[in-house]
Amino acid sequence: MSEQLLDLRGILQGLHDHKIDHVLFGATAMLFYGFVRNTEGVDIVVAGDEANLRRVHDWLVSIEAHLALRPHRRVGPRERWAMFKGENATVITTCGQIDVVQQIEGMPPFARLASESEMFEREGMRVRVMSRTTLVELKHRRGSPQDLADIEAIEQLDHLDE
């Protein structure tokens, strides 16, 4: 499968249409806070209940998701079962790359992420975005050069908001 350009509007519309309980994080969250940088894909944390994971799976199938590490393999029943076990997935879709996360080290439970998230309204859709505080905490834990640059950018944006 050839690499797709990122269609953020299409991804957000799909999440909305499929009623997926999720929180955006990573570079996409930073976009909502006012900092734009290139990104390979959209990072989303999804609620791990069975009904929500079934909706996630149906959405991924509808946008022709393939596993990023096995591009010849479309998302199917095996991947749905893996999601039910709590696994994360990176997929390539007709809307671009999407990282579907249920848990990463140091990340609070989904209920807390959702309750602390910030809500944005875009084109009639409510978009839940990880709080700046949690985003910075996760980036500190990871500590990559890009994460450290992102933290600096978030802190600069916070000063502009004062």
Neighbours of 17 (CB within 10 A): 12
For residue 144, pLDDT beyond 90: no
pLDDT digits (tens, 9 = 90+) for 28-61: 998 888 888 777 899 999 999 999 999 999 999 9
Determine the pLDDT at residue 2: 47
The H or E element containing residue 45 is strand 41-46
Give me the residue spans of the domains in the chain.
Answer: 8-155
Q: Which amino acid is at 134?
A: T
For residues 137 and 127, give the distance between their C-alpha atoms in angstroms, rounded to a whole number. 21
Overall average pLDDT of the 72-98 stretch: 94
Is the domain 8-155 a CATH 3.30.460.40 member?
yes
Q: What percent of the chain has pLDDT over 70?
A: 94
Decide if pLDDT at 3 tops 60: no
Q: Decide if pLDDT at 1 tops 50.
A: no
